[in-house]
Amino acid sequence: MIQRVVCSNKKAHYLYEIEDTYEAGIQLYGCEVKSLRQGRANLADSFARIVNGEVYLYNFHISPYPHSLEAQKLDPTRTRKLLLRKDQIKRLAGKVQERGYSLIPIKVYFNERGLAKVELALAKGKKKIDKREDIKRRELDRELQRKYKGRIK
């Protein structure tokens, strides 16, 4: 499966413990798609919510396409509808109602057919001690890699 990643949420794996991921389509205007193809998007501080049986993406910033007149009228951080199947939305709604679960976008990409997709994660926030353990584990792995770098071939 060929993907061309536009942007990714680098802090998602650090701040959240990811339980499950879903691929969702996203409703966009033509000028927004052109801007995405240029890589002019930012997922920082974005999140998704389920409202009236539909999933919406908040705070996803797409910079205006410079050669479009209608792009100047659009709000770059407007709420965008995500396209998921009803059974997926029901499953997500049940999980999100549980305490501590959130819907976090991990990356935005174009699939092999050229459609813009969002990888949405069902995640639980990490505590400070969990973040510290992840950092320790990563440091130990790096140290082992350096130590055995020349030996393993």
Task: Give a yes or no: residue 116 inside a domain.
Answer: yes
| Angstrom distance (rounded) from CA 31 to CA 34 | 5
* Domain hosting residue 17, numbered range: 4-126
| DSSP SS3 for 98 | coil
Task: Give a yes or no: residue 135 inside a domain.
Answer: no
- How many domains, in total, are found in the chain? 1
pLDDT tens-digit series, residues 11-44: 888 888 888 899 999 998 888 888 888 888 888 8
Task: Give a yes or no: residue 21 inside a domain.
Answer: yes
Say what the pLDDT of residue 89 is. 92
Let me know: does 55 contact 21? Beta carbons within 8 Å. no
Q: C-alpha distances in angstroms, 85 versus 49, 56, 140?
A: 15, 14, 42
Which parts of the chain fold into alpha helices (H)?
Answer: 12-15, 30-37, 86-97, 128-147
Residue 130 has pLDDT above 80, yes or no: no
Confidence of residue 110 (pLDDT cuts 50, 70, 90): very high
Location of structure tokens 């997709």: 117
